[in-house]
């Protein structure tokens, strides 16, 4: 049913989504915690910046990334001083783009979950001998499990559906930057509707099943 090119595109998309989500969880956890706890006045500016990808057309984000990664852009210049090539039209570039593009979908649920942390339970844990790290890993993170589930699914699903950013900085290189959304677009362009259908339906099912699992688990955990 799926031809080799479609499978390659699907696997590449999964790889991109998994990698981006993992990076987002690792970076997003301390960042969201800091945002929850800080009294810093400039916090709102950062929060607005993080939320930008929600409202911005992805092509705008993609355009600026293209410029930044380009030979005259800040990232491009920085990389060339280390003797590295441009990130445009590479998988690495796509990962970086996805991380920025999906940032709010991971940071916001985590921030919300962390803001529910009961300080008294943290105080109790401290008097029971738990260090700050220990408290974070044994109280804060386990109690934010619904937030983590939401962050994982939204981050993952949002990256799956990425199109505008890829269009700008990724191009259409098989097994490097040709993700499912681009492949579907390609198929439609060349009037290959049945291939487009297959890929689109696959993406639709995967996204729906993931969201369904999330909402069912939320309801279950919420009741417990």
Residue 34 CB, shortest distance to other proteins, in Å, is 18
Q: Where are the alpha helices (DSSP H) in the chain?
A: 4-37, 43-55, 58-69, 74-81, 91-115, 119-127, 132-135, 141-143, 145-160, 164-169, 180-189, 193-223
Rank residues 80 and 138 by Cβ distance to other proteins and give the closer one.
Answer: 138
Binding site for other proteins (CB under 8 A): 118, 120-121, 123-132, 134, 138-139, 142-143, 145, 224
Closer residue to other proteins in complex, CB, 124/204: 124
For 172, the 3-state DSSP assignment is coil
Nearer to other proteins, 82 or 133 (CB): 133
Is the Cβ of residue 137 or residue 193 nearer to other proteins in the bound state?
Answer: 137
Min dist CB 125 to other proteins, Å, is 7
- In whole angstroms, how close is the CB of 129 to other proteins at the nearest point? 4
Taking the complex as a whole, the smallest distance from the CB of residue 159 to other proteins amounts, in Å, to: 29
DSSP string, 2-20: --HHHHHHHHHHHHHHHHH
How far apart CA 97 and CA 103 sit, in angstroms, is 10
Residues 6+ apart with CB under 8 A from 201: none
């Amino acid at each position: 049913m799926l031809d080799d090119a479609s499978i390659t595109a699907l696997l590449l998309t999964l790889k991109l989504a998994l990698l981006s989500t993992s990076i987002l969880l690792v970076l997003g956890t301390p960042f969201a915690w800091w945002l929850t706890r800080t009294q810093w006045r400039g916090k709102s500016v950062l929060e607005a910046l993080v939320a930008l990808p929600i409202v911005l057309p992805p092509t705008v984000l993609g355009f600026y990334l293209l410029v930044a990664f380009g030979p005259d852009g800040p990232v491009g210049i920085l990389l060339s001083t280390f003797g590295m090539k441009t990130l445009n039209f590479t998988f690495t570039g796509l990962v970086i783009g996805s991380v920025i593009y999906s940032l709010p979908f991971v940071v916001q649920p985590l921030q919300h979950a962390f803001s529910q942390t009961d300080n008294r339970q943290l105080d109790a844990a401290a008097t029971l001998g738990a260090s700050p790290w220990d408290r974070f890993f044994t109280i804060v993170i386990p109690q934010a499990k619904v937030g983590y589930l939401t962050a994982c699914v939204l981050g993952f699903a949002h990256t799956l559906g990425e199109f505008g950013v890829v269009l700008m900085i990724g191009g259409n290189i098989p097994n490097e930057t040709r993700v499912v959304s681009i492949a579907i677009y390609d198929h439609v362009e060349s009037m290959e509707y049945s291939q487009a259908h297959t890929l689109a339906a696959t993406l639709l099912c995967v996204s729906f099943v993931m969201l369904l699992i999330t909402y069912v688990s939320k309801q279950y955990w919420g009741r417990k």
